[in-house]
Structure 1
Amino acid sequence: MTAADVIREAAGADAPAPRLALVLGSGLGGLAEAVQDATAIPYKDLPGFPVGSVAGHAGRLVLGTLEGTPVVVLQGRAHLYEGIPASDLAVPVRTVRALGAETLVLTNAAGSINPAAGPGAIMALTDHINMMGANPLAGPNDDRIGPRFVGLGDIYDTDLRGALHRCAQAEGVVLHEGVYLAVLGPSFETPAEIRAFRTLGADAVGMSTVPEAIVARHCGLRVAAVSAITNLAEGLGAEPLSHEHTLKNAAIAAQDLQRVLSRFVKEYN
């Protein structure tokens, strides 16, 4: 039995297939609490799902309706730095695709390399740089899911990003844009690394999202992604970096992000 089979059985035959999937990152899981007619299943009960152990990640899937739109919400994620193989990170994304989702919205907590987007800001991803040293598509390819070689030139959908900007404007929220650079972690970056990343063209740095975005494009999902900026990256600010600091400022950014995403989900319908 696959994870999708378990979810369908738990939700019942009358549950609508989700049109939209959301992944909620560190400290950003509150939106899942607004899902109506919800079926919630811990990741540990879903075959093949990687189970993380990081604070701020509830580790459960929620199926239901949000702002009138059938959704599936992944409340928290696992990370490569937890020792989880990159290929395992494909399972949740392929599961939401199997359930019927056509679009995936990814969120994360990130450090800003662009001082114009400081702590508490939100940033829509225009592109990414993968410095994780891993790709979830490495290994045997299942042609029934997607092609052996997938192009990523359009990985972050411009129409979806435009919709996010319209929703942000309607909510009176400033939505920045930028390139996200993903590192393996779990250590934070050195000042020299941040200077190098800025030279490469990165605007934000984090430890997630990129594997999910790659898998999503491979299996035909449209992708949008938003970072909640929790800090200025190492060497750009005075405050020492810590995960507690990340969660504190993620909660501040989450207020704006939740409003924007709620409107986005409503208008998606």
Structure 2
Amino acid sequence: MLNQIYDTCEFIKNKTNFIPEYGIILGSGLGDFAEDIKIEFTLPYEEIPNFPVSTVSGHKGALLFGTVGTKKVMAMQGRFHYYEGYDMKQVTFPVRVMKHLGITKLIVSNASGGVNSNYKVGSIVIITNHINMMPEHPLRGANDERMGPRFVNMSEPYSHHMIAKVKEIAKTNNIEVKEGVYVALQGPTYETLSEYKMIKNIGGDCVGMSTVPEVIVARHMDLETFGISVITDMGNEENIETVSHAEVLKAAKMAEPNVRLLIRELIKLY
């Protein structure tokens, strides 16, 4: 894998000559954050050696390089999911590439289903912790110490400093934000009512099909990480909302302006 990372990084460096500080993964319905980046280079996934190609509607499939304020960033317009048929090493490969290109901080965003009764469709949730229920672990197999330690300390998967900064930004801009624990399931089916009940019972506040493998690999490589989620549907003990991917994208779009502001100001100020 390390040789593949080097090959991919060499290709990207030759195309861009760009050293980013921040990496950003833009999830479902949040791809328009690209408008907040002064873009210098765009590389479609299909042109990048060793990169998977996103197959999900709403994921545009390109690496963007540019600036937000004075900070150099690279952003993934669309991520890769285990349910698409990729293994976890493929799903998380771009995070390793971003690290080797120079990033020290990673921001991940997603759309998720809510089980916390304090949430509603359109709620913005700062992810404070997660529960990994994916059927494959991204660090399974032989460990290469050049990429990170065999056993990873996950006591602070999401940066307390970045969380505090975003809460300050939200308060200053009168944006309501929630906090919560994100549960990662395989997908691609949305959850049953019984699964929503299980998620609540084990301590989850919201549920989705991404993010956690990326964060595990980010922490493996000692990247400071921040996660944010938009609640796009709700499931509670009495009923479950009918949901489709189109409705998920629509709900994410509702919250997108505020999410964009929070991410933009975090990058500028931290």
CA-CA distance at 1:90 after TM superposition: 2.3
Quick one: which of 8, 12, 32 aligns to 2:13? 8
- Maintained 8 Å contact 1:189/1:234: no
Q: What residue is the counterpart of 1:33 in the other structure? A: 35
Count of aligned pairs between the two proteins: 265
What residue identity is the alignment partner of 1:118? K
Q: What residue is the counterpart of 1:71 in the other structure? A: 73
Q: What residue is the counterpart of 2:54 in the other structure? A: 52
Structure 2: unaligned runs, 5 residues or longer: 1-5
CA distance in 2, matches of 1:236, 1:249: 22
CA-CA distance at 1:165 after TM superposition: 0.7
Structure 1: unaligned runs, 5 residues or longer: none
Worse-matched range after superposition: 54-63 or 42-51? 42-51
CA-CA distance at 1:235 after TM superposition: 5.6
The superposition leaves residues 143-182 of structure 1 with CA deviations (integer Å, 9 ceiling, x where unpaired) of: 1010111111111111111111111112211111000000
- 3-state secondary structure, aligned to 2:75: strand
Worse-matched range after superposition: 33-42 or 207-216? 33-42
- Maintained 8 Å contact 2:117/2:236: no
CA distance in 1, matches of 2:223, 2:84: 26
CA-CA distance at 1:51 after TM superposition: 1.4
The superposition leaves residues 217-263 of structure 1 with CA deviations (integer Å, 9 ceiling, x where unpaired) of: 00110111000111113666564111111000010111210111111
What residue identity is the alignment partner of 1:249? A
What residue identity is the alignment partner of 1:23? I
What residue identity is the alignment partner of 1:5? E
- Maintained 8 Å contact 1:87/1:138: no
CA-CA distance at 1:34 after TM superposition: 2.5
CA distance in 2, matches of 1:237, 1:43: 40
Q: 1:67 to 1:198 in 2, by over 3 A?
A: same
Once the two structures are superposed, the pairs formed by residues 82-161 of structure 1 within 5 Å of their partners are 82-161=84-163
CA-CA distance at 1:133 after TM superposition: 1.1
CA-CA distance at 1:184 after TM superposition: 0.2
CA-CA distance at 1:20 after TM superposition: 0.9
Once the two structures are superposed, the pairs formed by residues 236-255 of structure 1 within 5 Å of their partners are 239-255=241-257
Q: 1:49 to 1:234 in 2, by over 3 A?
A: farther
Q: TM-score, normalised by structure 1?
A: 0.95
Q: 1:208 to 1:236 in 2, by over 3 A?
A: farther
CA distance in 1, matches of 2:137, 2:168: 33
Task: Say if 2:184 is the partner of 1:179.
Answer: no
CA-CA distance at 1:37 after TM superposition: 4.0
The superposition leaves residues 13-33 of structure 1 with CA deviations (integer Å, 9 ceiling, x where unpaired) of: xx4x21111100001011113
Aligned-pair identity (%): 38
- 3-state secondary structure, aligned to 1:2: helix
CA distance in 1, matches of 2:203, 2:53: 32
Q: TM-score, normalised by structure 2?
A: 0.94
CA-CA distance at 1:50 after TM superposition: 1.9
- Post-superposition, which runs of at least 4 consecutive aligned residues in structure 1 deviate over 4 A? 234-238
- Maintained 8 Å contact 1:190/1:235: no
